[in-house]
Chains A and B, each alone.
Chain A
Amino acid sequence: MSAAITPGGRRWRRFRRNPTAVIGLAIVLVVLFAAAFAPWISPYPSHVGAVVNFRARHQPPSLHYLFGTDNVGRDIFSRVLFGYRISLLLAGAVLGVAVPVGVALGLIAGYFGGWVETIIMRVNDISLAIPPLVMALAVTTVLTPSLLHSMLAIAALWWTWHTRLIYSITRTLRHQEFIEAAETLGASKLHILFRELLPNCASAILVKVSLDFGFVILVGAALSYLGLGVQPPTPDLGTMVAAGADFLPERWWEALLPGAAILFVALGFNLLGDGLRDLFDVESVR
C-alpha cells in the first residue's frame, strides 16, 4: 500500500510537518498515559487516599518527592498523576453530554429553519449570554459541591458553542445539490440529518472537541479552586492549587507545580486542536 496517495497518509504527513501540532499530540498522549497508568507509575499511590504523614510535610522537590510534598506530607507528583484522571473524566463526561446535544440541536435548527430555528437559536443566544463560570458557581452552590455537580453545571452551558458552530455549517450546506438530491430521492429527515449533514460536520466537531477539552479542564480547575469541585482527599488539580496558594511564595511548589500540570494539559489539547484545524482547513472554529 502506497501511503503517499491515500488521503489519510497525506494528512498524517501534513500533520507531521506542523511541529506545534505534533508537540500537542505528544503532550496529550503523555497525559493520557499518565492518567491511565497512574496507580503503577506514581511513586506513592497510597497518597491519593486517606493518608497523612505530618513528619514529611512541606518537603521541597527532590528525588524522593519529584514535586515536593503538601501540608499533610503527601507526594504532590503522585497526586498530580491521579488528578489528571479527575480532569480527563470531567472533560470527557461534560463533552460526552454537551457535544451530542449541541450537535443535534445545531443540525435541527440549521436544517429545518422556521420556528424550530427561532426557538433553538434564541435559547442558545440567552444561554451564551450567561458566563459559564457564574452559572457553574450558582449550580454547585445550590446543590452540594461534588464532581458530578461540577460536570452538570459546566455541561448545562457548554452545548451552546457546538449548536452555534453546527448550525452555521448546516445553513451553508442545506441548499447544496447533494442535499436537494437526497430530498428529491425521498430520503428521510433522519437520513439527511445524520447521514448527509453530520459527516460534513465531523472534522469541525473533532477540532472543536479537541480545543474544548483544554477549556473544560480549565473551567473545572477554576471551580475546584473555588472549593466547589471534588472533596478531599481525592486529588484534584484545582483544589491542589488552592490549597498550595496559602503557602506562597515560600513553598512555591505546592501551588505552582499542580498549576503547571493544568497548564500542560490545557496547552496540549490547544496545540493539538490548532494542528487539527490547519489540517482540516476548518475556518469556522475559533
Chain B
Amino acid sequence: MNSVLLRGLVCGVAAIGLTAGVQAAEPRVVTMNTVQIFGSIDPAKISDYTDYMASVNLYDGLANVDAKGNLVPELAASWEVSPDATSVTFHLRNDARFQDGAPVTAADVVYSVDRLLKINLGPANLFAGVLKPGSVTAIDPHTVKFTLLKTFSPFLATVPAIRILNSKLVKAHAGADDGQTWLSTHTAGAGPYELKSWQRGSQMTIVRDPKYYRGWGEGAIDEVHFIVTNDEATVRSMAASGELTMTSQYQSPDTYDQLAKSPRFKVVKAETAVAFDLKVNSKAKPTDDLHIRKAIALATDYDTIRSTILPGGELTGPLPKTFAADYLQGPAPKFDLDAAKAEIAKSGYAGQKGIPLTLTYVSGTKFEEELGLLMQSNLEQIGFKVTLAGEPWNRVTEIAAKIATTPNITEVFFGPTYPSPDSMFYTEYDSHASGTWASMEWLQNPDVDKLIEGARATGDAAAQGKLYKELQKKLIDMQSDVFIETQLVRHAMDKCLDGYAYVPMQSFDYAFHKYKWTCR
C-alpha cells in the first residue's frame, strides 16, 4: 500500500519535472468537441460527420474541395476527363509520400478503390453502377485511369471521398478481411495528421506529421484533441476553464451567445448547403394527403424558428442556394394558420377533430425539442393531435427503415456528402434511397426518379440544370418536406485560431492542415 503510494508520488514528481522540461516548445493544441462518437476510421467504412472528420485529417484523397465546391489538387497534381465523360486520368504528384515515407503510387490508388468496392460500405454507394473492381487501372507508377461504366456527371465531385491507402502497409496486416480489423484501429494514409490515441466514446487525439508532403505553413496546429460530448453545460465549463479551443457546429444558440461574450472566443458563422427539413412521410396516414402536408407547412412559424430557436439561412425548396447554377428559387414559405385550416378543409380529413400526427426529433438536441413543441402547439390549434417523441439518433436510423415505423414528421439535417446537387437529390428522393434516414419522405415517385437518373446520365451542364429545376418545382409542388432553413454553421473558436471556411462536402472544412494559430 505504502510503496504504491510512494511510487505514485515519485511518478507525479517526475511528470511535473517532465512538463517543466518541454515547456520551451509547447505544442499548439486545438481541443474541439464533437457531438457524437467516431464510428469508424477505415476509409472504406466512413459515413457520418465524425467519420469524415477523422478521415480528412488522417488520409488524403486524389483531390480536395475548396469553399466554392471546386475540385482542387491533392495527391493528384492534375487530371483529364475524356471528351465523352466516361474516363478520367489522374497524374499523381511525384513527391507524394505516405506517413511511413513510402511514395504514393498508382498501385495504391487501384488497391484503395478495389478494396472500397469489395467491402461495399461507406462511400462505396457513391460508385454503385459507376465503378466495378478493375475499373481503375495503373498506366504507369504516377498515372491512374478511371474508366466509368456509364456517363455519370457527378463523378468528379465524388472523387474526394476516395481516401488513398498505403497498399503495402495494409497488405502486411490484411488478415482474412482485407485489413478491416487492423484499419479499424490503425491508419495507413498520406494525410497530414497521425492517430495518436483513440478511446471510442470519449476522445481522439491526432498529431501533426512534420514530414507531410504538402508542407506546413506558419502557425501549424501540432495536435488536435477531439472530445465527445453533446452536453451544453460541459462544453461551456470546458470553454470557461480554457480547456476547449473550438466548439462543435451543433451547440445551442445560447452557448454561442455566452461564449461570444467571453474575451477569449470569437464566433465564426457561415451559411451552408445543409438543409434543415421536416421530412414528411408521404406514404403514411394522414400525411399521404397533399393538403395535410401543405397545412403542416403553413402551420410552421418560420420567423420564430429563424429568429429565436435556430438562426439559419433562406431555404425555399429541396436544394440550398449554394448550388447556384442549378438552384430554383421557390415561393417564400409563410406562416398562416387560417390558410392551413383551409387546406385541412380541402383534405380527406375535413371536419375531423384531433387528426393524429407523430413528430420525432433527436433527443438531447435542445432546439429540435423546442421546434417540436412549437410545431405541436401550432398544429394542435388547427385540429391535429401531435405525439412528440425524442429518439436517440441510432433509433431514428432504425425507424426510417420501414414506412410503418417512419413518423409522419421527422426533423432532419441533410447536407451534400459530395459537392453536387445529385448528392441531395439521389440520397433524399430517389427510390434507391428508400429506408434510409435521409429519405424518410418515402416518395417512391417514378417521375422524380426519372428526373434524377436523367440528370446523372448527362454530361451537358445546361441540360442537367434544366432537369434539376424541373425536379425542384415538382418537389415543392408536392410539398415533399417542410423546408425550414439552411443551417448556419457556427463555431465558437479561440481568437488565436484561424482557418475555418465552409466547404460543401461533409466535414472537409475540418481538415486542420488549413488552420493556423495566429498568436505567439
Q: Does A50 contact B (CB under 8 A)?
A: yes
Q: How far is the CB of B362 from chain A (nearest CB, A)?
A: 12
CA distance A243 to B254 in the complex (A): 13
Q: Are A232 and B233 in contact (CB under 8 A)?
A: no
CA distance A227 to B230 in the complex (A): 15
Within 361-376 of B, Cβ neighbours of A (below 8 Å) are at 363-364, 366, 369-370, 372-374, 376
The answer to whether A245 and B258 touch (CB under 8 A), given A52-B374, A54-B308, is no
Q: Does A57 contact B (CB under 8 A)?
A: yes
The answer to whether A54 and B374 touch (CB under 8 A), given A71-B366, A245-B233, A246-B366, is yes
Interface segment among B320-328, B382-390, B454-462: the answer is B382-390
**Chain A residues in 8 Å Cβ range of B363:** 227
Q: Does B108 contact A (CB under 8 A)?
A: no
Q: Does B124 contact A (CB under 8 A)?
A: no
Secondary structure call for the A interface: loop
Within 340-389 of B, Cβ neighbours of A (below 8 Å) are at 363-364, 366, 369-370, 372-374, 376-377, 380, 386, 388-389
Q: Are A52 and B373 in contact (CB under 8 A)?
A: yes
The answer to whether A233 and B366 touch (CB under 8 A), given A50-B380, A54-B304, A246-B233, is no
Q: Are B373 and A232 in contact (CB under 8 A)?
A: yes
**Chain A residues in 8 Å Cβ range of B388:** 231-233
Q: How far is the CB of A226 from chain B (nearest CB, A)?
A: 10
Q: Does A177 contact B (CB under 8 A)?
A: no
Q: Are B370 and A72 in contact (CB under 8 A)?
A: yes
Q: Does A65 contact B (CB under 8 A)?
A: no
CA distance A273 to B388 in the complex (A): 38
Q: Does B48 contact A (CB under 8 A)?
A: no
Q: Are B377 and A247 in contact (CB under 8 A)?
A: no
**Chain A residues in 8 Å Cβ range of B366:** 71, 243, 246
Residue among B231, B372, B380, B386 making CB contact with A246, cutoff 8 Å = B231
CA distance A89 to B82 in the complex (A): 72
Interface size on B, residues (CB 8 A): 24
Q: Does B493 contact A (CB under 8 A)?
A: no
Q: How far is the CB of A236 from chain B (nearest CB, A)?
A: 13
Q: Are A50 and B390 in contact (CB under 8 A)?
A: no
Q: Are A246 and B252 in contact (CB under 8 A)?
A: yes
**Chain B residues in 8 Å Cβ range of A49:** 380
Question: Which single residue of chain A is at the shortest CB-CB distance from B392?
Answer: A227
Q: Does B232 contact A (CB under 8 A)?
A: yes
Q: How far is the CB of B385 from chain A (nearest CB, A)?
A: 9
Within 2-32 of B, Cβ neighbours of A (below 8 Å) are at none
CA distance A54 to B370 in the complex (A): 9
**Chain A residues in 8 Å Cβ range of B309:** 54
The answer to whether A71 and B370 touch (CB under 8 A), given A54-B304, A233-B388, is yes
**Chain A residues in 8 Å Cβ range of B376:** 50, 233
Q: Are B390 and A57 in contact (CB under 8 A)?
A: no
Q: Are A72 and B373 in contact (CB under 8 A)?
A: yes
Q: Are B308 and A50 in contact (CB under 8 A)?
A: no
Q: Does A283 contact B (CB under 8 A)?
A: no
Q: Are B377 and A51 in contact (CB under 8 A)?
A: yes
Q: How far is the CB of A203 from chain B (nearest CB, A)?
A: 44
Q: Are A247 and B254 in contact (CB under 8 A)?
A: yes
**Chain A residues in 8 Å Cβ range of B390:** 227, 231-232
CA distance A233 to B231 in the complex (A): 21
Q: How far is the CB of B507 from chain A (nearest CB, A)?
A: 25
**Chain B residues in 8 Å Cβ range of A248:** 233
Q: How far is the CB of A2 from chain B (nearest CB, A)?
A: 60
**Chain B residues in 8 Å Cβ range of A51:** 377
Q: How far is the CB of B160 from chain A (nearest CB, A)?
A: 36
Q: How far is the CB of A79 from chain B (nearest CB, A)?
A: 13
Within 207-263 of A, Cβ neighbours of B (below 8 Å) are at 227, 231-233, 243, 245-248, 250
CA distance A71 to B371 in the complex (A): 11
Residue among A50, A54, A227, A243 making CB contact with B386, cutoff 8 Å = A50
Q: How far is the CB of B478 from chain A (nearest CB, A)?
A: 28
Residues of A in contact with B (beta carbons under 8 Å apart): 49-52, 54, 57, 71-72, 227, 231-233, 243, 245-248, 250
22 A–B contacts, CB within 8 A, in A order: A50-B373, A50-B377, A51-B377, A52-B374, A54-B308, A54-B309, A57-B308, A72-B370, A72-B373, A227-B390, A232-B372, A232-B373, A233-B373, A233-B388, A243-B366, A245-B233, A246-B233, A246-B252, A246-B254, A247-B232, A247-B254, A248-B233
Top 6 A-B residue pairs of the complex, sorted by shortest distance between their CB atoms: A50-B376, A246-B232, A50-B380, A52-B377, A50-B377, A54-B308
- Contacts A50-B380, A232-B369 known; 14 new A-B pairs at CB < 8 A: A52-B377, A54-B304, A54-B309, A54-B374, A71-B370, A227-B364, A231-B389, A232-B388, A243-B366, A243-B369, A245-B233, A246-B233, A246-B366, A250-B258
